[in-house]
C-alpha cells in the first residue's frame, strides 16, 4: 500500500466535521484499519465483467437468452473448466441447464432413469462452475448475491474443496443430503441463477428498449429487477417516456408504431392501455376504406392475428396517424423556435385532386380518403378524435406498470454515461460540418457537447417529475417530443423524419432522411478523441460506444470505427432490421483480459434453446487485449475505493492525535 503524504493535525481539522461523521461507522482505530485492509485487498481483485447491449426493440426472447448466456461468457467458462473431461454434448447440456434450469430439469426427469445419480454429477459440476465465476469477488460480495434459502449451504460448497481429504466426506454428504431431502431441483435452480448473476458484474443498455418487437414490458421488468444496470436513453425510449409524462403527440406516435409493426402486446397485455375507443372509432370512420397502405408489416407482426384483426389494426393505424399529425401541428404552432414547420404536411394536400404539392411539385397520393380532415382547418381535431385523445391520455397516465417502468428508466438511466474510460450514449453528439460541436438553442441559451446532453437529460426529468402546471412543465413536455424527431436532437440528429411521406408518397426521394454530420465525422479518430476529451476521458484506452444506426454487415459496414475509438453495437436485435444488417445484433463484453465484440446470428426460439440446446451462434472479435489483467484499482470503482482509503487514513491520524476520540 502506498504511504500517503504525512497529514498534520491542522490539515485534518479542515475535514473534522466530515471525519466525525465517518467515525460513527468506524468508531475505533481497529475498525478503521480493518476497513483499509479490506478496501486495499478489493482493489487488487480482477475487474468485474461488463456487458453492453443496445437496440433491443422489444425482442425479449433474444434479449433474455443473451442475458442468460452472457454473450457466450458462460459457454467459454464451461469449456475452460471441463476441457476434455466432458464431451461436447455434455458441456452443451450444462450450459442449457444454467440458462434454463427449471425447464431443463423437467426434460431430464422425463428421460433420466437414475435421477439421483444425475443430481449428484450435476451438482458437483455446478459447484465447479460457481467456484470459478465467484473467484474474482470478495466473499462478502458473493454472500450478498446468494439466495437466502440456500445461502449457508452454497457458501460451504464454494469455499471448501472436495479434494481436501479432511473435507471430502463432508462435501459429499452435503450434496447427498440435498438430494435425499428432495431439495435438488430448487438448489440446482438457485445455483444456476447465481452463476448467471455472478458472470456479469454490470449491465449497460445503450438505448432503444421499446418499439417494434412484442415484449418491451418483459425486458423492462427484467431490467428493473437486475442487480446492477444502467440505461442510456434511446430515441424510442424517450418517446415512451414522453407518452408516460402526458405528451399526447408522443402517445399517438407510440400507438402508431405498435400498429405499424402489428405488435400490440406491450400496449395491451403489458400496460393495460385501453385501445377500444380507438378501435370503435376506426371501424366506423374507415368502414369502407381498405387502409391498404396502413396494413401492419406482417413479417414482423404477431402471427396469431387473423385477417379481420389485421384489417382492424390497419384502420386503427390510419386513424392514429391522422390524429398524430394534428397533435404535432399544435406543438409546432406554439413552439416556432423548434423550426418543425416542415412536418406540417396536411395543408399541402389538394383534397379534390388527391395530390400532394411540395415546393411547386405535384405528387399523386397513395391514399386519398381523409374523412376526418377539414381542408380549411386540416389540423383541427374532430370532437370524436379529441375524445379519443383524452381517453388514451388517461389510460397512459393511469397505467401502474407503465409508470413503474418509466420511473425505472429515470432511476437507472440518463442521456450518457462515462464508465471505466468508455463513453456511452445512444445516438450522437451533434456536430457542424467542420467537426466542431453544434450549438443548439434551448430557451434563451445555447448548449453543445456534454452540456447539451446534460440539459436534455434535465428537461426529460422535468417533463416527468415537475408537478406544477406551468410553462416550465409545458416546455419540457413539448421538448421531449422534439427529442424524438427534431433535427438538433442528439437522439435523432436528422434533417427530418419522413413519416407522412413514407405513408402517402411513392417517390423515394421524399422518403430520405439526411443524417447529421456526426454520422460521417465519427469515422475520424481525431473527432472521436475530441468528443472523449469533452466528456473528460483522457485514457489511451477510451472508447465511444453507440447504438441507433444498424451496422449493415451485408453491405460491408464495420462496427469498429475511428481506429478503434468508436464501437457501434447496433447489429439488428430487432427482426425488422435483420434483412438490412445480415446478422441479429452485437453485444460487447469488457472483462479483465480485454474488450470483446460478439456478433450474433438470429435466435431461433426459447423452446429450441431448451429442448435442443440451441444456443445463439456467435462470433467473437477481440477489440482490445490487455497483456496484464485489469484490476479493480484500474477502474472507476478503484478510484472511489482509493478516496475512501485516504479518508480513513485521515481518520486514523485524527484518532492518534486526539482530535477525535475512539468510541470503545
- Contact call for residues 289 and 369 (beta carbons, < 8 A): yes
As a whole number, mean pLDDT of residues 72-80 equals 90
- Contact call for residues 4 and 646 (beta carbons, < 8 A): yes
The predicted-structure confidence for 5-43, as pLDDT tens digits, reads as follows: 557 777 788 888 899 999 999 999 999 999 999 999 999
In 3D space, the residue among 50, 49, 201, 66 whose CA is nearest the CA of residue 571 turns out to be 66
Half-sphere exposure of 388 (CA within 13 A, CB side): 25
Q: How many CB atoms lie within 10 A of CB 625?
A: 9
Report DSSP state, residue 270: I
Write phi, then psi, for 502 (nearest 5 degrees).
Answer: -65, -30
Grade residue 3 by pLDDT with cuts at 50, 70 and 90: very low
Q: Which long-range contacts (CB under 8 A, 24 or more apart) does 344-350 make?
A: 344/379, 345/500, 345/501, 346/370, 346/373, 346/378, 346/379, 346/500, 347/378, 347/379, 349/373, 349/375, 349/378
Written as nine digits, the cell of 175 is 450434496
Written as nine digits, the cell of 639 is 478510484
Query: Which residue(s) pair with 264 in the sheet?
Result: none
Report DSSP state, residue 629: P
The predicted-structure confidence for 640-664, as pLDDT tens digits, reads as follows: 999 999 999 999 999 998 899 999 7
The predicted-structure confidence for 132-160, as pLDDT tens digits, reads as follows: 999 888 888 899 999 899 999 999 888 87
**What is the value of pTM for the model shown?**
0.92
Looking at residue 1, its pLDDT comes to: 43
Write phi, then psi, for 560 (nearest 5 degrees).
Answer: -95, 120
Mean pLDDT computed over every residue of the chain: 91
Q: How many CB atoms lie within 10 A of CB 81?
A: 17
- Rounded Cα distance between 302 and 315, Å, is 17
Which helix (H) or strand (E) segment holds residue 591: the answer is: strand 586-591
Alpha helices in 207-345 (DSSP H): 216-224, 235-245, 248-260, 265, 276-285, 307-334
- Rounded Cα distance between 293 and 455, Å, is 39
- Rounded Cα distance between 421 and 379, Å, is 48
Grade residue 52 by pLDDT with cuts at 50, 70 and 90: very high
Written as nine digits, the cell of 313 is 389494426
- Rounded Cα distance between 321 and 318, Å, is 5
> What dihedral angle (degrees, nearest 10) is formed by the CA atoms of 193, 195, 199, 200?
20
In 3D space, the residue among 271, 310, 275, 307 whose CA is nearest the CA of residue 294 turns out to be 310
- Contact call for residues 438 and 448 (beta carbons, < 8 A): yes
Residue ranges per structural domain of the chain: 9-39+642-656, 69-198, 229-401+420-504
Amino acid at each position: 500500500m502506498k504511504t500517503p503524504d504525512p497529514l498534520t493535525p491542522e490539515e485534518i481539522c479542515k475535514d473534522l466535521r466530515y471525519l466525525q461523521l465517518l467515525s460513527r461507522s468506524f468508531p475505533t482505530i481497529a475498525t478503521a484499519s480493518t476497513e483499509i485492509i479490506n478496501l486495499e485487498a478489493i482493489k487488487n481483485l480482477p475487474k468485474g465483467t461488463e456487458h453492453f447491449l443496445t437496440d433491443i426493440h422489444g425482442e425479449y426472447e433474444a434479449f433474455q437468452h443473451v442475458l442468460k448466456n452472457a454473450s457466450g461468457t458462460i459457454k467459454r467458462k464451461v469449456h475452460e473448466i471441463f476441457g476434455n473431461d466432458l464431451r461436447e454434448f455434455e458441456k452443451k447440456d450444462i450450459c442449457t441447464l444454467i440458462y434454463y434450469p427449471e425447464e431443463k430439469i423437467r426434460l431430464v426427469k422425463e428421460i433420466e432413469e437414475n435421477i439421483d445419480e444425475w443430481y449428484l454429477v450435476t451438482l458437483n459440476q455446478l459447484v465447479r462452475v460457481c467456484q470459478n465465476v465467484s473467484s474474482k469477488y470478495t466473499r462478502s460480495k458473493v454472500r450478498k448475491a446468494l439466495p437466502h434459502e440456500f445461502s449457508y449451504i452454497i457458501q460451504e460448497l464454494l469455499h471448501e474443496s472436495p479434494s481436501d481429504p479432511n473435507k471430502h466426506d463432508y462435501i459429499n454428504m452435503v450434496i447427498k443430503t440435498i438430494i435425499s431431502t428432495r431439495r435438488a431441483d430448487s438448489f440446482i435452480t438457485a445455483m444456476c441463477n447465481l452463476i448467471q448473476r455472478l458472470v456479469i458484474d454490470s449491465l449497460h443498455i445503450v438505448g432503444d428498449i421499446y418499439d417494434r418487437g412484442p415484449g418491451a414490458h418483459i425486458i423492462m421488468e427484467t431490467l428493473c429487477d437486475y442487480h446492477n444496470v444502467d440505461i442510456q436513453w434511446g430515441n424510442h425510449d424517450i418517446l415512451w417516456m414522453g407518452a408516460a409524462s402526458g405528451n399526447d403527440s408522443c402517445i399517438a406516435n407510440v400507438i402508431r408504431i405498435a400498429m405499424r409493426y402489428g405488435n400490440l402486446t406491450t400496449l395491451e397485455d403489458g400496460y393495460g392501455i385501453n385501445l377500444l375507443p380507438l378501435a370503435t372509432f376506426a371501424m366506423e370512420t374507415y368502414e369502407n376504406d381498405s387502409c391498404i397502405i396502413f396494413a401492419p408489416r406482417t413479417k414482423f407482426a404477431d402471427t396469431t392475428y387473423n385477417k379481420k384483426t389485421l384489417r382492424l389494426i390497419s384502420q386503427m393505424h390510419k386513424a392514429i396517424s391522422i390524429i398524430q399529425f394534428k397533435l404535432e401541428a399544435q406543438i409546432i404552432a406554439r413552439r416556432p423556435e423548434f423550426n418543425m414547420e416542415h412536418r406540417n404536411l396536411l395543408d399541402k394536400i389538394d383534397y379534390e385532386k388527391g395530390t400532394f404539392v411540395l415546393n411547386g411539385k405535384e405528387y399523386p397520393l397513395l391514399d386519398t380518403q381523409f374523412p376526418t380532415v377539414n381542408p380549411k382547418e386540416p389540423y383541427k381535431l374532430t370532437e370524436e378524435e379529441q375524445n379519443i385523445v383524452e381517453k388514451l391520455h388517461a389510460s397512459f397516465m393511469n397505467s401502474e406498470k407503465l409508470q413503474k417502468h418509466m420511473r425505472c428508466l429515470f432511476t437507472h438511466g440518463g442521456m450518457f454515461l462515462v464508465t471505466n474510460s468508455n463513453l456511452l450514449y445512444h445516438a450522437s453528439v451533434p456536430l457542424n460540418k467542420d467537426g466542431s460541436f453544434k450549438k443548439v438553442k434551448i430557451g434563451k441559451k445555447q448548449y453543445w457537447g456534454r452540456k447539451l446532453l446534460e440539459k436534455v437529460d434535465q428537461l426529460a426529468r422535468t417533463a416527468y417529475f415537475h408537478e406544477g402546471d406551468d410553462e416550465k412543465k409545458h416546455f419540457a413536455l413539448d421538448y421531449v417530443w422534439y427529442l424524438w424527431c427534431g433535427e438538433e436532437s442528439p437522439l435523432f440528429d436528422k434533417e427530418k423524419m419522413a413519416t407522412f411521406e413514407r405513408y402517402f408518397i411513392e417517390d423515394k426521394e421524399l422518403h430520405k432522411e439526411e443524417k447529421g454530420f456526426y454520422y460521417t465525422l465519427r469515422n475520424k479518430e481525431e473527432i472521436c478523441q475530441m468528443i472523449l476529451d469533452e466528456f473528460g476521458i483522457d485514457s489511451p484506452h477510451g472508447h465511444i460506444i453507440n447504438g441507433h444506426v444498424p451496422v449493415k454487415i451485408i453491405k460491408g459496414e464495420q462496427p469498429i470505427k475511428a481506429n478503434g475509438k468508436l464501437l457501434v453495437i447496433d447489429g439488428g436485435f430487432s427482426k425488422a432490421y435483420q434483412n438490412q444488417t445480415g446478422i441479429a445484433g452485437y453485444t460487447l463484453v469488457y472483462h479483465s483480459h480485454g474488450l470483446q465484440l460478439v456478433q450474433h446470428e438470429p435466435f431461433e426460439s426459447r423452446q429450441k434453446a431448451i429442448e435442443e440446446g440451441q444456443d445463439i451462434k456467435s462470433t467473437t472479435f477481440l477489440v482490445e487485449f490487455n497483456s496484464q489483467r485489469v484490476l479493480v484499482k484500474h477502474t472507476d470503482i478503484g478510484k472511489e475505493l482509493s478516496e475512501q482509503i485516504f479518508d480513513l487514513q485521515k481518520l486514523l491520524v485524527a484518532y492518534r492525535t486526539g482530535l477525535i476520540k475512539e468510541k470503545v
